[in-house]
């Protein structure tokens, strides 16, 4: 506890020294439980006997331990930064410094081989030049993993997420303040087949109910319920390699009378391979067909090739390269019938010595707006470095940039964000 007191004192002092930004707020909205994007149990699709299924990973640092068997992992991050284009517009009309504050607590409890976790986090961000863009996002997720026997296991997760759509981040009319929403999420997974067995089957189910809380004249069209299910089969073709077949189904129901034509059903059919620790690589690659059919008769949907791949290469024990690529549809947000998004991302993480680490990332995202001729292409790149001052405290710097081009006039923009960060654990 003495250590935590020192952490909070140090962060308080550093935050105070940041100047006139009195409101500490978060950088990004918490990740939604994407129940309609189900991709298997891990990067490699492997399913070890006691691997987490839907529970949260243990937090960083040392836990607070209780006699009951409960472990608590508290973490705290704060940062001071600058965003040169809050509105993501072609004129860079609004620039601002910001302060963010992000505490998180993960609780872990294991009983009779079953694992339970609770995750609570708050992410706040405050801008000195635009209080309308301040955010206060949060999430609360309870989950359980149950290991029934050597062959059968499953997990469940219940979550409440509150997030924010930054102004200019979509194609709806710009509102007086950032759009806030909340989402109630339910996810489940059942796995049958021992980890080393010749075959394995998995079943997923999920439900997400997203509702906007403010600026309803503009945002109510985005209220949507997404119900999903998926199934996949793995078959061993080598010591570390499995072939797979997968089917996903997602039903998006929009509740606003202004968006009834947006309700649709999306289906994905995949075949692929997954492997682990083969020539220092681990990965899962899936290729197949995607269809998106709208409930409204006569509204054109999409049918075409889709892929989803993630590969991790570890040439050295202290250096990792992650490559991901996908082609899939996303819901429209004010322009077109849907978005067809093709993205490729590369991340290099390197540990230079015991205390100093770095990350470099580069990505390209191409977006076609269904039912229109508009097409955007975004180049995203950035780098970060962190230094471990103490076992429980890291200081870091991040730089991120986006260069978005478009064949639609006025939709091109550039944005650069820099941050100085402190991350504390027990």
| pLDDT single digits (tens) 87-128 | 999 999 999 999 999 999 999 999 988 999 999 999 999 999
Every domain of the chain and the residues it spans: 21-425
Percent of the chain at pLDDT exceeding 70:
90
Label residue 277 by pLDDT band (50, 70, 90): confident
- The alpha-carbon radius of gyration of the chain (Å, integer) is 22
Label residue 2 by pLDDT band (50, 70, 90): very low
pLDDT digits (tens, 9 = 90+) for 182-236: 999 999 999 999 988 999 999 999 999 999 999 999 999 999 999 999 999 999 9
Residue 112 is predicted with a pLDDT of: 87
Label residue 22 by pLDDT band (50, 70, 90): very low
If one compares 6 and 106, the residue with the highest pLDDT of the two is: 106
Residue 19 is predicted with a pLDDT of: 38
Label residue 258 by pLDDT band (50, 70, 90): confident
Residue 344 φ/ψ, nearest 5 degrees: -140, 130
pLDDT digits (tens, 9 = 90+) for 300-309: 899 999 999 9
Q: Indicate whether 385 pLDDT > 50.
A: yes
If one compares 2 and 207, the residue with the highest pLDDT of the two is: 207
Label residue 59 by pLDDT band (50, 70, 90): confident
Residue 40 is predicted with a pLDDT of: 57
- Distance in angstroms (rounded) separating the CA atoms of residues 164 and 27: 10
- CATH code for residues 21-425: 2.40.160
Residue 105 is predicted with a pLDDT of: 97
Cα→Cα distances 193→49, 120, 143, 200, 209, Å: 10, 32, 22, 4, 32
- Distance in angstroms (rounded) separating the CA atoms of residues 421 and 57: 22
Q: Is the dihedral of CA 304, 244, 32, 361 positive or negative?
A: negative
pLDDT digits (tens, 9 = 90+) for 143-194: 999 999 999 999 999 999 999 999 999 999 999 999 999 999 999 999 999 9
Mean pLDDT of the chain: 90
Q: Indicate whether 60 pLDDT > 60.
A: yes
Q: Indicate whether 351 pLDDT > 50.
A: yes
Residue 49 is predicted with a pLDDT of: 66
CB distance 349 to 357 below 8 Å: yes
Helix (H) or strand (E) holding 123: strand 114-127
Residues in CB range of 49: below 8 A, 6 or more apart: 147, 150, 153, 194, 195
Residues 222-231 as b/e (b if ≥16 CB within 10 A, e otherwise) read bbbbbbbbbb
CB distance 413 to 89 below 8 Å: yes
Mean pLDDT of 48-57: 85
CB distance 164 to 145 below 8 Å: no
């Amino acid at each position: 506890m003495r250590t935590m007191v020192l952490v909070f004192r140090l962060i308080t002092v550093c935050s105070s020294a940041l100047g006139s930004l009195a409101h500490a707020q978060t950088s990004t909205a918490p990740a939604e439980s994407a129940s309609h994007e189900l991709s298997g149990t891990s990067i490699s699709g492997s399913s070890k006997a006691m691997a987490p299924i839907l529970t949260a990973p243990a937090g960083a640092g040392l836990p607070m331990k209780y006699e009951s068997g409960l472990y608590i992992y508290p973490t705290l991050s704060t940062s001071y930064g600058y965003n040169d284009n809050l509105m993501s517009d072609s004129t860079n009309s609004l620039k601002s410094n910001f302060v963010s504050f992000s505490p998180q607590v993960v609780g872990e409890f294991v009983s009779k081989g079953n694992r339970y976790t609770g995750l609570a986090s708050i992410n706040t961000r405050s801008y000195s030049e635009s209080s309308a863009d301040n955010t206060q996002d949060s999430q609360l997720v309870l989950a359980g993993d149950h290991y029934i026997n050597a062959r059968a296991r499953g997990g469940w997760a219940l979550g409440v997420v509150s997030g924010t759509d930054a102004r200019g981040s979509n194609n709806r009319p710009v509102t007086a303040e950032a759009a806030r929403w909340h989402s109630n999420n339910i996810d489940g997974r059942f796995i049958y087949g021992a980890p080393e067995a010749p075959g394995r089957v998995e079943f997923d189910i999920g439900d997400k109910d997203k509702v906007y809380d403010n600026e309803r004249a503009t945002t109510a069209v985005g209220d949507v319920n997404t119900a999903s299910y998926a199934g996949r089969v793995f078959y061993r073709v080598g010591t570390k390699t499995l072939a797979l077949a997968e089917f996903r189904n997602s039903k998006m129901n929009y509740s606003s009378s202004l968006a009834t034509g947006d309700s649709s059903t999306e289906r994905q059919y995949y075949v692929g391979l997954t492997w682990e620790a083969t020539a220092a690589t681990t990965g899962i690659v899936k290729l197949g067909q995607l269809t998106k059919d709208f409930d409204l008769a006569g509204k054109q949907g999409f049918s075409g090739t889709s892929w989803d791949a993630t590969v991790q290469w570890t040439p050295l024990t202290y250096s990792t390269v992650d490559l991901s690529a996908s082609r899939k549809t996303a819901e429209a947000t004010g322009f077109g019938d849907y978005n067809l998004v093709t993205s490729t991302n590369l991340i290099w993480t390197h540990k230079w010595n015991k205390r100093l680490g770095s990350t470099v990332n580069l990505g390209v995202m191409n977006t076609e707006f269904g039912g229109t001729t508009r097409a955007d292409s975004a180049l995203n790149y950035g780098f970060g470095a962190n230094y471990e001052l103490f076992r429980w405290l890291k200081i870091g710097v991040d730089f991120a940039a986006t260069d978005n081009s478009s064949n639609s006039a006025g939709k091109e923009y550039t944005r650069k964000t820099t941050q100085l960060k402190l991350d504390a654990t027990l």
